[in-house]
Amino acid sequence: MTSGAAILRGGLADRSTWRPGENCPVAKALGVVGTRSAMLIIREALYGTTRFDDFVARVELTEAVAAARLRELTDAGLLERHPYREDGQRTRYEYRLTEMGRDLAPAILGLYQWGARYLSANGRAPLALSHADCGSPVTVNVTCRDGHDVPLHELALARSRKPRVT
């Protein structure tokens, strides 16, 4: 027995009878944002970066890698391209997060929180995250719909039921 893991229920309890495989949503997510450069481009987009040159400079990528990654993330639906034009310049494109892209915030901020806690000098994050409306510090949390914090040893996993055909 270990108190350090989730609780597997029903058909999942015997791990020898199933494998997450390619169906696992974590594996699927990593198929889209599983590279360091993709994750850091989304981080930048969460910070409001939209322009190609800014992604290149702030993520410290080559132009070729930035272009490839922005195209992949756009094709996958996380970013949308919008044309813009500055005086005397040709039309360029900026990249804005879609709802799908914004919904990665909990995962990216989860990595931020973990990196700040365990890997930063003095355990102190370089940036402070707060709620603009009330000023309170912000964290990423695993919670249930009844409002309880759910530590790992209280997290139960079971096979999803097929939706009922009505």
83, 88, 163, 166: which one binds a copy of itself (CB under 8 A): 163
Closest CA to 96 of 33, 54, 51: 51
**Residue of the chain from 63, 75, 84, 155 that contacts a copy of itself (CB under 8 A):** 155
Q: Within positions 124 to 143, which residues make up the interface with a copy of itself, using CB under 8 A?
A: 124-134, 136-143
Residues 6+ apart with CB under 8 A from 126: 116, 120
Does residue 160 bind a copy of itself (CB under 8 A)? yes
Rounded to a whole number of angstroms, the minimum distance from the CB of residue 17 to a copy of itself is 11
Contact set for a copy of itself, span 26-55 (CB under 8 A):
26-34, 36, 39-40, 43-50, 54
Please tell me whether residue 114 binds a copy of itself under the rule CB under 8 A. yes
Q: Does 164 bind a copy of itself (CB under 8 A)?
A: no
Binds a copy of itself (CB under 8 A): choice among 6, 56, 65, 67: 6
d(CA 112, CA 127): 10
Residue 14, token pair as written in the block: 């015997």
Name the nearest CA neighbour of 43 among 25, 59, 62.
59
User: At its nearest, how many Å lie between a copy of itself and the CB of residue 112?
Assistant: 5
Residue 81 phi/psi, 5-degree rounding, is -90, 130
- Of 56, 33, 37, 36, nearest in space to 105 by CA: 33
Based on the shown chain and the rule CB under 8 A, indicate whether residue 17 belongs to the binding site for a copy of itself: no
What's the rounded Cα separation, in Å, for the pair 12 and 46? 36
- Which positions from 62 through 101 interact with a copy of itself, judged by CB under 8 A? 77, 96-97, 100
- Measured from the CB atom, the residue of 62 and 152 that comes closer to a copy of itself is 152
C-alpha 42/C-alpha 59 separation (Å) is 10
CB 102, min distance to a copy of itself, A: 5
